[in-house]
Every structure is written in structure tokens, then in C-alpha cells.
Amino acid sequence: MEQNYNTEQPEGGVPIKMWTRGVPVEDEAKKQLANAARLPIVFKHIAAMPDVHLGIGATVGSVIPTLRAIIPAAVGVDIGCGMMACKTTLRAVDLPDNLAPLRAAIERAVPHGRAPGARDPGAWQKPPGAVDTAWATLEPEFKAICRDYPKLAKTNHHQHLGTLGTGNHFIEVCLDEEGAVWFMLHSGSRGVGNAIGTMFIELAKQDAMRNNVHLPDRDLAYFEEGARYFGDYVRAVGWAQKYAQLNREVMMRRVIDAAKTVIRKNFQSHIEAVNCHHNYVQKETHFGQEVFVTRKGAVSAKQGELGIIPGSMGARSYIVRGKGNEESFQSCAHGAGRAMSRGEAKRRFTLADQRAATEGVECRKDKDVIDEIPMAYKDIDAVMRAQQDLVEVVHTLKQVVCVKG
């Protein structure tokens, strides 16, 4: 297989293999990658995906393999954030001419962070029965975790299950290249995942200070196997990843049920379905070595494995099949990747720009979503060209309805 990456060798660190040909990479992101590459726990090399950009501690769009250790800030606070997509038996002609009622039905069915009104519009005031049932499968292990970390019991855990969140989280109705209708959404472990991530990131920093560990960046503090908090973190992060996956499943069911109240034609969903994380850590074997692989803004792309690479609001998205490229630790990009900060996007673009960029999409078109304008992201087509040796495109999706968090 022809390789499509460039290699950079930071002084005192492992190599960085970058799938970024034809895609700009900010200097700050390169410095952040080099900092991670200098950690003694990193195995073999770091892989940088084409959507790579500056993050907190670890770079978004990076794949970091570590030996007998995990970096909590590399996993981040949106633990288990990822995508779910379902193909239906509907065709484009089956959708109503006016898509506003469909968007409104989805917005009513799934709490999302920017909705007006309630004290916490992103949480259930009274969770429906399906949410209670899903929570019952998560609750026993969560209670066990809370016995050691009681502050976590005060988070919005049950109330956030089956909710979207804010920022770049979204729900979309899309059409593929043959006119089939798909439902797609993007979310993670919500408030409880944030609390778990934040708490263990701080504990890792305290450990590093107590043990006089020299770090190129305090946010790269890590737990080694056998350390006081290592096992607790592995358990908590694993639970949050299960929560995130279930969160997407609960939301998808509610989205489909809501669509059935507006679309009068009977249809089947889950003709094809994908549910994948892109902010997570798990134990894997690469180059004959068992390691912890942290994908911060990256998707698993094992041989034949399906994944989702969304574009930005108004841009194409892709259902892909992994090629199992070992040099990338069998990974691919998780999206277009931001080209500028949210503040910069709001300074640079106008409401007219946002409306023009989302023409033909039933979505919010107001000043509060300008930071999600497609031009604030990298060119998704360039991102896809840069990783042709990592994935092949199975379906190309274009949204017709978009609900933003």
C-alpha cells in the first residue's frame, strides 16, 4: 500500500507521521504534537490525521499509543464523543417539501443545549421511560465508581442520557449519492463524562507535581499502570465510553420516532448502521505490542471496519470503510477539523455568509451558529484526499436538515 504521510522527527521524541498533504497545519498544533512525542511512555510514533488542529494538552486529530500508561487530557473531557448514522428505506422523494416541521419534531424529541426556555434546556426535566431503561444498564457500575468519587453523583448523568449537548454536536437528516435518506448524529458522554475527564486530568497533574515528573506541558500528565489512580481512571473512562455509545443509540431511536410523526410513509431504519467513538482510549495490539491507543479526534479504521467522517454544517459527510493501515495505528480522521477558533469565525464571518453557506439546508441561520460556518473548518475534500490510504468512501452524504446543539 502506498503511504501518504510525511514524517517529522522532534528532538528527543518519537517520530510524528502526518497524513496532512494538501491540508494546512498550524504551527501551534505541530508544537503540541512534538510535546506529546517527547513523553517517555509513547510507543513507536504518533499519527496525525489530516484534520489535526490545536487542542488542550493533546492535539485534536492525533493518535497516541502509550506503553502501560494513559494521558487523561489526551482522551479529553468529551469522553466517548463520536458519531452514529443509520440508513433508512426512505428516498428523497418521500421527504416533505417543507422540512421545517421535521426539524421541529426532532428538536422536540431530543433536548439540546441551545434551545430556549427551561433552566437547563440540554437536560431532561423528567426522563422518558426509554431513558430510564437505558440508565438502568449503566447505573450499577456508576454507583460503584461514585463510592470512591462521590462528587460524580452530583452530575447530570441520568438527566443527560439521550440528549445532544452544545457546540459542534448535531443531528442531521441526509441524502446519500443514490438519494437514500440517512439520520446522523454527533454527541458523547455529556456532563458526567466532562466531570470524569476534568477530575482525573487534575489528579494526573497533582501526581506529576508530587512525583517531580518533568513534562513538556502540564496537560500531558499521565497515569502509569500500578499508580494510585490508574485503575480507577481506566474503569471510569470505560464506563463513560459505554454511556456515550448508549447516549447516541437512545437519541437515534427518538429521532427516528419523531420523523415517523412527520413522514407519513412507513419506513425501516438501521438498513446500515454505524456507531463509533472519536475521543477515547482502548487497549489494542500494534506492531506486536499491547498498548493503550488514545484517539483524540480520530476514528478506528481497521480493515473492513465502517466509520463516519462528517463535514461541517452545509458540507458533505462520508461513511467510510477502513483499510487497516498499521502506520496510522488503523485510524482515520474524525471530520473536517477546525481551521480557526470560534471567536475568529464570529469576527470574520457575517450572518449573510452563514445563510449563503447553508443554502438548501433546513437549519438555524442566526448569529449564535456563525462559529459553525463551513468556512471555519478545513476543506473536507482535501481532508479525504489526504487519507486515501487509510479509508475508502462507501457513501457520500449531504444534509438537508441540521439541528445544532
| Cα 159 from Cα 262, distance rounded (Å) | 26
| Cα 222 from Cα 177, distance rounded (Å) | 44
User: Is the distance from CB of 162 to CB of 109 less than 8 angstroms?
Assistant: no
Coil/strand/helix, residue 173: strand
User: Is the distance from CB of 324 to CB of 88 less than 8 angstroms?
Assistant: no
User: Is the distance from CB of 5 to CB of 333 less than 8 angstroms?
Assistant: no
Catalytic residue among 169, 278, 334, 395: 334
CA angle 330, 304, 246 (to 5 degrees): 80
Q: How far is CA 280 from the centre of its chain?
A: 9
Q: What is the DSSP string of 181-195?
A: EEEEEEE--HHHHHH
Query: What does each C-alpha distance from 136 to 142, 158, 383 come to in angstroms?
Result: 10, 9, 40
| Cα 262 from Cα 316, distance rounded (Å) | 25
- Fill in the DSSP letter of residue 375: G
Whether residue 334 lies in the annotated active site: yes
Active site members: 334
